[in-house]
Chain A
């Protein structure tokens, strides 16, 4: 018990004194997760819009497949990207293995299904009559999708926040693709795993508190924006 309390005090100390290693890991983690989320957003929102808007053969199957991939285990995503970018893989020449770039690729792929699926759900939440109104007003297909995304923006923001949460908290792909190299690919989750196994409880706790704090801030921000919408309605 004492050890835990002790670790907790030290953790707070590490954070308050802006310990260089803790800060460095935190900044890198934010960078990798934010870029992954941005890439996944740029792909998943238009993709979700297109799947929602177009009628085609196999649409049901595709949507079911996407929903199945919500539960994609992070180590499977890691393994898949590992095979792609390892020296012998088709994209081995990019030399992405054990780099932050490779981690971004893995995390983007990992959160793409859930963000696409939630975009679809968000767009389905827009009334059919809203879509008819937009089309009737003379919108092209692209304008219609953009307008629908605008109508569903608060729900889509929720999907972005969820994607970010999944990216920042996953450890499997980050470990396999990044390799947890100190000062290069070490992120909050891989650092916690390593430091805990080495018995550095206080450092692990400090990193854990930061991870939780980031999640809390993101949630608060999303909540605030969505409250705004309620007051607008």
Chain B
């Protein structure tokens, strides 16, 4: 449906989006995920044809979008976008939802029927005559969604659709997004900084950082196998240890990190510099000197800090390099953990995700 080929968008000297190649198939639900200011909004604005790429090509349904304003308008009328902070036009809710149809010169009677239907879908029929500027944030978000849906777009672009909403409104909007994608077959691209939302909604995720696609693919692949340190950090890997591959035996690889050796599973060759990534929750804490059979790796260290984190305790250990582990409150109590105490950290070889240096430069993935 949308095909970006090496798209760059610069403002002055600053590149908000640089060399992005991304293919979004018809009927898919794709999430652009990344921290604030990473270029997600600019990407969506490019797709909505509100901006032109400084370089590269953007195809919509196989058609190059770099045409005249008239040609771009014709394509734009086949899509719809909901902005992060939806703006009410200064008229009633009904007038707001009707706007796109009025611009398309749809007959009055048909507008009335379709607006009523769209308002029913978002559950706001009772507010049709209200002045839109008087709505709450959640209501306005739903009006904006109805305003977009009423034109029956082939492509729906949603910029942080639930960023400013309470949990109740969030799940309502997420349900709607899923239904529109499934029932109408509408292609949806949404941006979010919330990994959970990306996972809940989208089949495919594209991780956007500093204006580039760092990685794209299925949610679980992004989650388990980030290809760059930045991606790993964004995906919640708290421990990123830089080291060197020392030896390989069968399918296991031993990596030296700050004087300790750990066993991992990776394709990296001997002598290669790598980053070993492991989630804080994949680390187990054991009393100093203990050995555990199933975990191949043990590191000895001293607890430097214990911070409470809801029902968990975040334990920082000095093992020659800093290590962060997440244990339940209860086990922290049972082991009577305290700062300055010697401790043993255990983890499985398969829990370590290894990023090879060669992978560091973010590649354009389609």
Contact = CB atoms under 8 A, between A and B. Distances in A.
Interface of A: 127, 129-130, 132-141, 143, 147, 150-151, 229, 232-233
Nearest to A233: B133
Contacts of A150: 89-91
18 contacts: A127-B87, A130-B87, A133-B86, A136-B48, A137-B100, A137-B103, A137-B147, A137-B151, A138-B73, A138-B103, A138-B151, A141-B69, A147-B89, A147-B99, A150-B90, A151-B89, A232-B134, A233-B133
Interface in B91-120: 91, 99-100, 103-104
Given A136-B48, A138-B73, A129 B87 contact: yes
A138 B151 CA distance: 9
Nearest to A150: B90
Contacts of A136: 48, 50, 76, 80-81, 83
B131 interface: yes
B173 to A, nearest CB: 18
B76 A138 contact: yes
Contact of B89 (A133, A143, A232): A133
Given A129-B83, A133-B89, A136-B50, 11 more contacts: A129-B85, A130-B89, A133-B86, A134-B99, A136-B76, A136-B83, A137-B151, A138-B151, A143-B103, A150-B90, A233-B131
B166 to A, nearest CB: 22
A150 B92 CA distance: 13
Nearest to B133: A233
Interface in B56-95: 69, 73, 76-77, 80-81, 83, 85-87, 89-91
Interface centre among A138, A140, A150, A233 (most CB of B within 10 A): A138
B91 to A, nearest CB: 8
Contacts of A138: 73, 76-77, 100, 103-104, 151
A65 B321 CA distance: 67
Contacts of B85: 129
Nearest to B69: A141
Contacts of B50: 132, 135-136
Contacts of B151: 137-138
A143 B104 CA distance: 10
Contact of A233 (B86, B87, B99, B134): B134
Contacts of B45: 132
Contacts of B69: 141
Nearest to A128: B87
Contacts of A134: 89, 99
Contacts of B86: 133
Contact of A137 (B99, B131, B133, B134): B99
A168 B103 CA distance: 38
Nearest to B45: A132
Nearest to A144: B103
Given A233-B133, A233-B134, A140 B89 contact: no
Nearest to B72: A135
B147 A232 contact: no
A77 to B, nearest CB: 35
Nearest to A130: B87
A135 to B, nearest CB: 6
A10 to B, nearest CB: 49
Contacts of B100: 137-138
Nearest to B91: A150
A127 B99 CA distance: 17
Nearest to A141: B69
Interface string B309-346: 00000000000000000000000000000000000000
A227 to B, nearest CB: 15
Contacts of A229: 90
Nearest to B151: A138
Contacts of B90: 150-151, 229, 232
A232 B131 contact: yes
A16 B232 CA distance: 86
Contacts of A132: 45, 50, 83
Contact of A139 (B80, B87, B103, B147): B103
Nearest to B86: A133
Contacts of B48: 136
A151 B151 CA distance: 22
A233 B132 CA distance: 8
Contact of B87 (A133, A140, A143, A232): A133
